[in-house]
Amino acid sequence: MGTRLLLCDDHGIFREGLKTLLEKRPDFQVVAQAADGPAAVANAQEFAPDVVIMDISLPKLNGIEATRQIVSQRPQAKVIVLSMHSDRRFVQEALKVGAAGYLLKDSAFDELLSAVAAVVEGKTYLSPAITHIVVEQCLGRVPPADWAAFTVLTPREREVLQLFAEGRSTKQIALHLRVSVKTVETHRAQMMKKLDIHSIAGLTKYAIQEGLVSL
């Protein structure tokens, strides 16, 4: 039985190209694709992939949050983050929430194959271009990344923050998350207090600056 893969990226051409390359290997099977974070989480549950290849910049729910939920719900699935972000905050947070690998999108395809092979064997794989980030932290040369969005806000508050930043209204967020409008308003008030930001425009600017959403 081959390795079952789930591809998560909001660019359809990129997903299809990656699928074509992966399925040239007879031992690989792409069982599903996802264009946003909630679909990634749902498909990980429905299709039971062995490996999830995850972008960070996903609509509705970013890849770090999606990874956290997938690992929590299906710990046997190995998540490899494949991202354009090399900032140590992204690398550290991805590993913290349970990612088994982290590669940059400009890596060679053979490196992705090596990463899949490594995580299937229960190992952690880091792109050589970012390995120094983890090594330097382990040696105490740099402090842990101070990322307020992940150290101050709760997972649900981060979801609400991303959805506001993507232009959704309070009512739309409530419907999407299947909670009351009052609950969303409470989350918004708590975020504003914690971050000392007092407008939706300010929250949106913060989310973009922190890389939680893309322009």
98 and 60 both lie in a single domain: yes
124 and 152 both lie in a single domain: no
Provide the mean pLDDT of the chain: 90
111-136 confidence digits (pLDDT tens) = 999 999 999 999 999 988 787 766 66
Task: Please indicate, yes or no, if residue 74 is contained in any of the structural domains.
Answer: yes
Q: Mean pLDDT throughout 66-94?
A: 91
10-68 confidence digits (pLDDT tens) = 999 999 999 999 999 999 999 999 999 999 999 999 999 999 999 999 999 999 999 99
Sheet containing 51-54, strands listed edge to edge, beginning at the edge strand earlier in sequence: 28-34, 3-8, 51-54, 78-83, 101-104, 125-126
Domain that holds residue 184: 148-209
103 and 157 both lie in a single domain: no
User: Taking the CB of residue 24, how many other CB atoms lie within 10 A of it?
Assistant: 9
Task: Please indicate, yes or no, if residue 156 is contained in any of the structural domains.
Answer: yes
Query: Residues with Cβ < 8 Å from 195, sequence gap 6 or more?
Result: 148, 152, 153, 203, 206
